[in-house]
Structure 1
Amino acid sequence: MRLPVVSFQLIALALVGCTVSVVAVASTCDGGVVFEDRNGNGRRDLGEPGIAAVKVSDGVQISVTDARGAYRLPPADGRSLFVIKPPGYLPTRREDGLPDVWQNTRTAPGPTLKYGGMPVGPATCRDFALRVAKPSPKRQQGLDVVVFADPQPKSQRDIDYYRRDIVEPLKHDTAIDMGHSFGRFYFDGLAGDLGISLGDITNDDLSLYPALTAATTSLGVPWLHVAGNHDLDFDAARDEDSLLTFRHHFGPDTHAWEESEATFVLLDDVIYQPGQKPSYIGGLREDQFAFLERYLPTVPRDRLLVLAVHIPFFDAGPGRETFRHADRERLFALLRPFPRVLLLSGHSHTQRHVSHGAASGWHGAAPLHEYNVGAACGAFWSGVKDADGIPDTTMADGTPNGYARLHVRRGGDYTLSWHPARIPANDAGFTSAMRLSAPRVLRHGAWPAFAVHANVFMGQDDSRVEYRIDGGPWQPMRRVAAADPWLVTENVQDDRAATLRGYDRAPPAEASPHLWRGTLPTDLGLGEHRVEVRAFDRWQGEQRASTRYVLEAGKE
């Protein structure tokens, strides 16, 4: 039976009160339906109705399901067909545990690639199964998103680090105490409502995808993946073929996902330039702009719009175009009508917040916030191992490896938090919010040239950070562009060691964008003095840490 053509323009008007044009196509495929999977088996059974007004895309074109849940799109060879999950629904899972919301189309063999590329498959429309999401008291508080940047294992050993350092502690921290001496239990989805990995899923070895996916999906959270520069098929001869293996495992490199609190757009922003230097640059393709120009007008503006990419939108240094400026300005122009936008990026293996303005092509009413998320692998799984055999892997700016959380409330307001993978026991100077560095002993009466430093992991340019000694009055600390003293000490110990202290040395310390300094007085009484630091986090409120130093009489 041939299905009637659905007018995307009319449905978009009904949905969001705006018009969107879709390019007409000559060829179509019949039979694609988005349906309510009431028994959760992934197949459309008798009595399971279609779902109207759901958007389906191939990364360029967009179709909207009719009253029976039917959609029509031309089978475009080489593209990935995907459903844009609407609010109030959840997808079924693929065999690997990832959301079953996509299908690749490959009718002719592509280039021969080391890691397999995209296998040949039928050019058919498929049915997409969605389940009605069950409301929970936790979800009524808002949408909880777990964000990993750069897991980047280079071996099965690194995947074991990732599992034990990131995934298992996350399960433990979100497990429920069952009472009655049964202990704590983890159930699927307790860690969050959605998960996103911001690229560099592996470190060039794409054969590690299945093992890493198994670790991630053990959380039971619907998980989406962005492509990174270490996820490329480096034997591809052109950018168009450089993510074939990634797409075979993770689906479309342009994707969208909708919740009632936020809309998520995930974009591959790595432009591969084989044979050139540099071999890649940040930017977007024409087909991605075509998708955005069709999709964004359909997105409600009463919620947060989140763009998730790998390469940051800001330049890594003066005079260095990390992300193509023309593409950035074109993208920012598309985002300007939205009152609430958050950019999430990875890649740098450091952590910072950037406020975009006119200098970077943003002309909105308020600065555009980009959160450049610290790496799950930290400094590439380097550094000295702890008692559990896991490397310290602190990043070059002094941020410990870990993951982030994004919490979004209805109306688009959001909070962010950073969660270090490990915090040493009985160390009051190292908390989830900051790490303090201070000398252990100073000479009484010495010139006050020494200081306590606070590396506030989520600190921003305007963060308020204060300290006090022995319960005295609070004093402001001064933000400094300097290397974290704790990591400098690790660098010195690596230099002095006769053999490697770990698989790799700790990274060379670089100037941290979130380091504060407070001078330690030396005119107090002899003996021990307590130093308290408090930082006022924009989202998490007041955060504290403490340390101690001793004043001794000078030795002649």
Structure 2
Amino acid sequence: MRRRTFIKSLGLAGAWLGTPALAQGTDKPQDGATILKGKVHAGGTGIAGVAVTDGRTIAVTDRGGRYELAAHPDAEFVYISIPAGYAFPTEKGIARFYAPVAGKTGAVVNDFALEKLGVDDSKHQFVVWADTQMISKKDCEQLKAESVPDLKALVAGYGSSALFHGIGCGDLVWDKFDLFADYKEAIGMTGVPFFNVIGNHDMDISARGDDFSAATFKQQFGPTYYSFNRGAVHYVVLDDVFFIGTAKKYIGYITDTQLAWLEKDLALVKPGSTVVLSVHIPTNTGAARRTGKTDELGGSVSNRKQLYKLLAPFKTHIMSGHTHFNESWEEGNLMEHNHGTVCGAWWTGPICGDGTPGGYGVYEVDGSEIRWYYKSTGQPKEHQLRIYGRGASKEQPNEIVANVWNWDPAWKVEWWEDGQAKGAMQQRTGLDPWAVELYAGPQLPAKHKFVEPTIADHLFVATPAATAQRVTIKATDRFGNVFSQELALQAPGSGLQRTT
């Protein structure tokens, strides 16, 4: 099908023909329909080609920035896909790209005012905060006292003209909806505009079913699925937490309504473009392989192959959280980044169960290319590994262990013994020794006793000579950045020894 014909079939022809688009492809609205209309503009000047949606259908603005679409009966919002080249509208740091329309009838007019950026946005940065997950005011204060200043310092280091945005990757709170106010306050303090993803701990667990489980989240943050643009990158947020109507029970699943909307949304994106898609539950992980257990329905997205089909024409990075461990996997043009948490192990200690420090992902965009690293809260950006001396692993008391938490198969991890190169370290699946010390057993940690160490792929081991005095480990990421740490070895049996 020719592109113009396909666009017309989606009800998107108006932007090309110079008239407001009716998203359902009709010449005039049906009798009794609610009509959503208005203008997308900057300083009164209309902006053409902006996608506008009610979550079911999509229209694009005409040459004068006008849009018109017949609302679906279940429509709750009308919202735009913010175009490249414009600042993100925010309300106290939270992206505000939508207007409520539920219950309204007749002609409903909503204009969207944007501000043209004064700098080229082809270069920009974004951060992914996964699982801030506060359950108490004390957790909130820790977020504000530790994570907020860390992000502010990071942004300042890029210079005053740098363009940053954030993605709150779900579980913004831990079932305590009154703490959404604290989350918003923290975001406002960072100075970074944030787009937000719904997580399983952000749902109304007293709802009758999935259709009503996001009511509170929507009141606070707007739609649960949407898109926006910055530079050459198209960003998408989806809701992949499907509530099954029983308290705290859910599966990883993307509804057909969202997939149908996504198909229309991506029809406006040039094939080969870079797409960044954010969800809470990862679409896939290696957890089942590492543990030897069947993948749980709540641990990954059960209908992910249908999502991958829609993403196949694009170079896609998927951002996810939920697991409280750090892991990346790549296949073809698709790569998923499953992030360690801002909260560490639920605000009980400085590391996640897999040894990843509490922190967040940082992504640097240049055109269609993306580079990234993991930023540990309170540590310099170069902090990318931790070394354990002999005896840290009870199973192998003569080995040294390195945890390289943002490792993926494109990395290289090598070691030196007393200045002599020894080659690559051996990758191993296992438990981080510090996580074992902090969290293993029914009495640890005192705050949340359910926390346990998590099996990870990103551990590397080597056996130094009995007479070795010092080891050096260098980890080289896929971009050629080298991260190095040294450790003076103690005799076996001297207790847990690690770098900071």
Work out whether the TM-score is over 0.5: yes
Q: What secondary structure does 2:87 align onto?
A: strand
The answer to whether the Cα contact below 8 Å between 2:12 and 2:58 also exists between their aligned partners in 1 is no
Pair 1:174 & 2:125 matched? no
Q: 1:303, 1:378 → 2: CA distance? A: 34
Change in 2 beyond 3 A, CA 1:233/1:51 = same
Q: What secondary structure does 2:378 align onto?
A: coil
329-338 or 432-441, larger mean C-alpha shift = 432-441
The answer to whether the Cα contact below 8 Å between 1:307 and 1:343 also exists between their aligned partners in 2 is yes
Pair 1:305 & 2:275 matched? yes
Counterpart of 2:454 (choices 491, 494, 510) is 510
Q: How far off its partner does 1:505 sit?
A: 5.3
Using the size of structure 2 for normalisation, the TM-score is 0.85
Q: Aligned ranges for residues 173-192 of structure 1 at < 5 Å?
A: 173-175=154-156, 192=163
Deviations 1:431-453 (A, max 9, x none): 62011111389xxxxxx951211
Aligned residues: 469
Q: Percent identity?
A: 29
Counterpart of 2:383 (choices 432, 454, 475) is 432
Q: How far off its partner does 1:51 sit?
A: 1.3
464-473 or 314-323, larger mean C-alpha shift = 314-323
Q: What secondary structure does 1:147 align onto?
A: strand
The match for 2:119 is 135
Letter in structure 2 aligned against 1:482: G
Q: What secondary structure does 1:331 align onto?
A: helix
Letter in structure 2 aligned against 1:422: G
Letter in structure 2 aligned against 1:82: Y
Change in 2 beyond 3 A, CA 1:14/1:66 = closer
Letter in structure 2 aligned against 1:259: R
5+ residue gaps in structure 2? 1-6, 495-500
Counterpart of 1:490 (choices 427, 435, 438) is 438
The match for 2:93 is 97
Counterpart of 1:79 (choices 68, 72, 76) is 76
The match for 1:359 is none
Q: What secondary structure does 1:382 align onto?
A: coil
The answer to whether the Cα contact below 8 Å between 1:281 and 1:322 also exists between their aligned partners in 2 is yes
Q: How far off its partner does 1:305 sit?
A: 0.6
Letter in structure 2 aligned against 1:415: R
| RMSD, aligned α-carbons | 3.2
The match for 1:155 is 136
Q: Aligned ranges for residues 7-18 of structure 1 at < 5 Å?
A: 8-10=11-13
Change in 2 beyond 3 A, CA 1:452/1:123 = farther
The answer to whether the Cα contact below 8 Å between 1:105 and 1:122 also exists between their aligned partners in 2 is no
Letter in structure 1 aligned against 2:345: A
The match for 2:326 is 351
The match for 2:334 is 368
Counterpart of 1:195 (choices 156, 159, 166) is 166
Q: Aligned ranges for residues 252-291 of structure 1 at < 5 Å?
A: 252-275=223-246, 279-291=249-261
Change in 2 beyond 3 A, CA 1:223/1:217 = same
Letter in structure 1 aligned against 2:423: Q
Deviations 1:454-488 (A, max 9, x none): 10011124532111112112421100111111222
Change in 2 beyond 3 A, CA 1:544/1:175 = same
Counterpart of 2:376 (choices 413, 420, 433) is 420
Q: 1:29, 1:11 → 2: CA distance? A: 15
Q: 1:319, 1:538 → 2: CA distance? A: 31
Deviations 1:266-302 (A, max 9, x none): 00001100138x8110111121012112111111235
- Give the greater-gyration-radius structure (CA): 1
324-333 or 65-74, larger mean C-alpha shift = 324-333
Q: How far off its partner does 1:106 sit?
A: 2.5
The answer to whether the Cα contact below 8 Å between 2:387 and 2:487 also exists between their aligned partners in 1 is yes
Change in 2 beyond 3 A, CA 1:122/1:167 = farther
Change in 2 beyond 3 A, CA 1:30/1:159 = closer
Q: What secondary structure does 1:71 align onto?
A: strand
Q: 1:219, 1:395 → 2: CA distance? A: 23
Change in 2 beyond 3 A, CA 1:222/1:273 = same
Deviations 1:368-419 (A, max 9, x none): 2111011111111013xxxxxxxx2x11111011011111221x22111100
Q: What secondary structure does 2:69 align onto?
A: coil
Q: What secondary structure does 2:70 align onto?
A: coil
Change in 2 beyond 3 A, CA 1:540/1:157 = farther
Pair 1:34 & 2:40 matched? yes
The answer to whether the Cα contact below 8 Å between 2:240 and 2:301 also exists between their aligned partners in 1 is no
Using the size of structure 1 for normalisation, the TM-score is 0.77
Q: How far off its partner does 1:11 sit?
A: 5.6
The match for 2:308 is 332
Pair 1:381 & 2:347 matched? yes
Q: How far off its partner does 1:73 sit?
A: 2.1
